[in-house]
Amino acid sequence: MINLIGNYSLIFALIISLGTMFFSFKNFKYNNILDFNLIVLVFLQFILIFCSFCTLLLAFINSDFSNLAVYNNSHTTKPLFYKISGSWGNHEGSLLLWLLVLSLFSLIFLIQSKKLSVSFRSLSIFFQQIIIVGFILFIFYTSNPFQLIIPTPNEGLGLNPILQDPALAIHPPILYLGYVGSSIIFSSSLAALVCKYTTNQWARDIKKWTLISWIFLTIGIMLGSIWAYYELGWGGFWFWDPVENVSLMPWFCLTALLHCSSVLEKRSSLQSWTIILALCTFMLSMSGTFLVRSGILNSIHTFANDPERGIFILIFLSCLILLSLIIYFKYNNFEKSNKSFFVSKETAIVINNWFMMYFLAVVLIGTIYPIFLEVITKEKISVGPPYFNQLIIPLLIPFLFIMSIGTKLDWIKNKEINVRYKKIVLLILSVLISYLIAKHLNTKILYSTVLISAALYLLFISILDLKNDKLKWSQKTSHLAFSILIISIILNSIFSEEQSVNLKAGEEKKLSKYTIRFEKISKSQIENYTSLKAEIWVSQNNNELIFYPELRLYKVPETITSEADIKTNLFNDNLVVVNYLKDTDYLNIRYQKKPFMLLIWISALMLAVGGILGLRKKY
């Protein structure tokens, strides 16, 4: 019965979507006053999709194994919290959640955009409904979360144990809010093109939606990074995993759009570039959906699925791209601006937009090149950190310097460049500190000095900007957070240490700087898994740390996971991860020292806080 309610709710939501498309296009074509029926239809659509999602949620909570999605992704012994998160921790449920957020954002847009023109609002909803209809059809034809299994099994197959984690449980909904928020940006950009409505008012509105999407995407990426750090035991904040890259690409685009929309708002310039960024942001979100759902990517994050899903998304994505190109080239008749951007804030923003697009291109090529190579030559390769580091880090240096200077420039052409002694002193101080660090490490002194100098200079300028009354606190907070993030990442990569040994219980190993002792291992039975907890002692210069890393043995499904034990303080993370060596009594013990990890997480959270402050006008 529950499955029928969920199915029919989606069917009625599809019918209402088609009706909404008709009324919204009618309002646009005849420039009617926004019909009350349109608001009612969008609200009713949201209620129906919400009802459908709630039925799936109840099926997971009640362990209704007549539902195929519940059977494949749940089990009676699974804790309630993970039964709930399991409703979106699978392919079918996650798409239904995506659809729910799409309908919610459509309703919010329609309610809060009362000051905008009727034709623009109506056409925005029309384009938004095209996306919603596409996702409903996708769910029905390839990913129905309400398929039945007969006869009904007594037990389910369970959820992948590494996904049973609090951070990852809330990671998908937050990430989807970031992805789906870009759909409003996409729809309103197409509507603005057709209605010739790329005004300052539109820029303010699109900036608000860009901020909302950027905030959630930032938090979502951060949560995923934290989860991979302590759950997978990779020992770092970023690994250039393909699915990590998929979330990073729209973030680059959103960041560029956020700054570009400020130029449009202040000076009525860069309309065409703002539109392009707005369209590309959603296309990258959709491309990420295609790559993850099609099974093309080889990643811990991807869903197991069949090729039909990938083909459907690819066709749908191609249609959206074609629609965007047709509308853009037909209605893009912006006049070229004669305003000078020389030595102005606009110049700094545009140049850093170029850098941002370069970083985006590097990540995009590194992610999809192995796919095309495998299709063409049947050869499998993986693109790792060396590729990304060698292509991104050199251009990160001018990017950081321009970002440091940009906040000091005005929105109009400067007749002269004011060079204050404080800036020179800070630059000299940055170079001196960087040189001392590089010399201490016996590394490439020139390269490391310039890189660290750029990061430190941005940090010093960002601290100095806290007293700048011309800047809003949202900008101050975000720029300071970004500067802390960059310097923390650089120092983390420079000063990280790792040691790996194979030991039996009672053995110890003396290394160059550390002594590692495997004291013992204890076994205990937890609710839905067996815990094997090792006691590891790591000593250096008479300082000892005791770690309790864990191996978890799950019965449903039969899986062994490794849980890192992490000792955290403001300046260092010390962590130990253990793994069994097959057919032996030995454990592989990896000890890692990761500096400034806490500052990386704090600065990422500060970035999001800066975005939240930006939603309030006075900040």
Same domain, 521 and 543: yes
What does the pLDDT read at residue 346? 80
Same domain, 139 and 218: no
Same domain, 1 and 84: yes
In DSSP terms, 580 is beta-bridged to: 587
pTM listed for this prediction: 0.90
565 occurs within a structural domain = yes
Give 473-489 as a DSSP string.
HHHHHHHHHHHHHHHHH
Predicted confidence (pLDDT) at residue 289 exceeds the cutoff of 50: yes
What does the pLDDT read at residue 477? 92
372 occurs within a structural domain = no
CB under 8 Å to 303, separation ≥6 — which residues? 90, 91, 94, 292, 293, 295
Encode pLDDT of 542-597 as tens digits: 788 999 998 888 876 778 888 888 998 888 899 999 888 877 888 899 999 999 99
Distances (CA, A) of 133 to 90, 278, 379: 21, 21, 38
The structure tokens 């999605």 sit at 69
Closest CA to 256 of 350, 377, 143, 191: 350
Predicted confidence (pLDDT) at residue 475 exceeds the cutoff of 80: yes
CB 594 within 8 A of CB 577: no
Tokens representing 169? 């449980």
Same domain, 158 and 68: yes
Reduced 3-state DSSP string for 1-57: CHHHHHHHHHHHHHHHHHHHHHHHHHHHHHCCCCCHHHHHHHHHHHHHHHHHHHHHH
Residue 297 phi, psi (nearest 5): -75, 140
104 occurs within a structural domain = yes
Encode pLDDT of 181-199 as tens digits: 899 999 999 999 998 888 8
Tokens representing 412? 């109009």
Predicted confidence (pLDDT) at residue 389 exceeds the cutoff of 80: yes
Distances (CA, A) of 498 to 369, 537, 589: 31, 15, 11
Predicted confidence (pLDDT) at residue 141 exceeds the cutoff of 70: yes
What does the pLDDT read at residue 581? 84
Same domain, 184 and 323: yes
Domain boundary among 164, 193, 225: 164
Domain boundary among 286, 317, 333: 333
Tokens representing 108? 């919010």
Same domain, 118 and 235: no
Average pLDDT of the residues in 162-166? 75
Encode pLDDT of 308-339 as tens digits: 677 888 888 889 999 999 999 988 876 665 55
Band the pLDDT of 422: cuts 50, 70, 90: low
Tokens representing 186? 């996409």
Tokens representing 277? 């960024």
Reduced 3-state DSSP string for 524-551: EECCCEEEEEEEEEEEECCEEEEECCEE
Tokens representing 293? 């759902």
CB under 8 Å to 376, separation ≥6 — which residues? none
Predicted confidence (pLDDT) at residue 304 exceeds the cutoff of 50: no
Domain boundary among 298, 333, 368: 333
Give 441-481 as a DSSP string.
HTS-HHHHHHHHHHHHHHHHHHHHGGG-TTS-HHHHHHHHH
Same domain, 196 and 139: no
| CA-CA-CA-CA dihedral for 611, 615, 616, 618, to nearest 10 | 70
Q: What percent of the chain has pLDDT over 70?
A: 89
Same domain, 223 and 286: yes
One-letter amino acid of 566 = I
274 occurs within a structural domain = yes
Q: Is 111 exposed, middle or buried (0-12, 13-18, 19+ CB in 10 A)?
A: exposed
Dist CA 318 CA 325 (whole Å) = 11
Closest CA to 492 of 347, 603, 578, 413: 603
Three-state DSSP class for 169?
Answer: helix
Closest CA to 234 of 614, 594, 602, 617: 594
Same domain, 185 and 213: yes
Predicted confidence (pLDDT) at residue 498 exceeds the cutoff of 50: yes
107 secondary structure, DSSP code: H
Q: Quick one: residue 268, left, alpha or beta (phi over 0 = left, psi -120 to 50 = alpha)?
A: left
Band the pLDDT of 483: cuts 50, 70, 90: very high
Same domain, 140 and 44: yes
More confident residue, 512 or 279: 279
Same domain, 179 and 128: no
Band the pLDDT of 56: cuts 50, 70, 90: very high
Dist CA 158 CA 554 (whole Å) = 10
CB 334 within 8 A of CB 198: yes
Band the pLDDT of 295: cuts 50, 70, 90: low
Distances (CA, A) of 445 to 386, 432, 453, 456: 19, 12, 12, 16
457 occurs within a structural domain = no
CB 206 within 8 A of CB 278: yes
Dist CA 5 CA 37 (whole Å) = 25
Give CA angle at 533 (531, 539), nearest 5°: 165
Tokens representing 577? 């991860």
Average pLDDT of the residues in 381-385? 81
Average pLDDT of the residues in 249-271? 88
Same domain, 300 and 325: yes
More confident residue, 343 or 28: 28
492 occurs within a structural domain = no
For 115, the domain range is 1-164
What does the pLDDT read at residue 211? 94
464 occurs within a structural domain = no
Burial 170-186 (b: 16+ CB within 10 A, else e): bbbbbbbbbbbbbbbbb
Dist CA 379 CA 143 (whole Å) = 30
Encode pLDDT of 60-108 as tens digits: 999 889 888 898 888 887 888 888 888 888 888 888 999 999 999 999 9
Average pLDDT of the residues in 108-130? 89
Band the pLDDT of 300: cuts 50, 70, 90: very low
* Number of separate domains in the chain: 3
- Please give the mean pLDDT across all residues of the chain: 84
What does the pLDDT read at residue 136? 94
Residue 398 phi, psi (nearest 5): -65, -30
194 occurs within a structural domain = yes
Lowest mean pLDDT, pick from 57-71, 105-119, 222-236, 518-532? 222-236
Closest CA to 219 of 186, 175, 259: 175
Tokens representing 406? 């940009």
Could you tell me how far CA 354 lies from the centroid of its own chain?
A: 21
